[in-house]
Structure 1
Amino acid sequence: MSDIDLATHIPSGVACCSANNKNKNRWNRMERKDSRITIRLNQSEIDQLKSKMADAGYTSAGAFIRDSVATGRVKPKISSNIVVIAKELATLAGMIKGDRPKSDLLDKVRAIASANAGGVV
């Protein structure tokens, strides 16, 4: 069995939010946690936790478990590629409203299709 302290240890291969904290003031904006829980997991349970976290887009075991407990489900994470496509679709809508030439609209549609296929806009 392995002990996992959700406040200080994340299973190997899973990043912790404090290790990736690029914004030092982030902790000031976040609600401070009053309690710490240590759980014991065997290796297959750790692997299952890692898998479920990856599927949901989480990098923090603590956040994943808190969301699971608080709501009974986890919030799906949106990939950066989907955000780029959404922005490009909004730009395309503005171009359509602005009566832009068809060639410009087709270029934008091609760029969106490329982003959807994994390319960069």
Structure 2
Amino acid sequence: MSIPPESIQLILETLCEFLLNAEDAQIRAKAAESLGRLGLEDAIPILREAIVRSALMSEFDAQLTLVQLRQRVGLTQQDLADAIGVTQKTISIWEKGSVEPKLSLRQTKILMDVLNCTFDELVEATQP
């Protein structure tokens, strides 16, 4: 089975993203294994570009967002809404950054627990 070059490029870029950004060691290991199967000749230039792009992006995208906190623990907007007793639409509005959340101390504690984050991370992620 022959894979078109543009598909290989996309696959490699996706695997590179997993290698660079995945917090789970098993996901990184699977991505590295898959890269090895595709061939290093094709992978090395794409890996270099992904690493450079990732370094540049981290400079410009330094602020942690509520979306990132939610996604890193694998929750949907509805899951998060249910956990703190608000609507999914409220979570959506907060994630767009147009309104700062008004939370009770109890809701704040629940968010920190559910999102597995520090108070400082939560404050940073919820600033409009």
TM-score of the alignment, normalized to the shorter chain, above 0.5: no
Indicate the structure with greater strand content: 1
Indicate the structure with greater helix content: 2
Could you say which structure has the larger radius of gyration?
1
TM-score normalized by the length of structure 2: 0.25
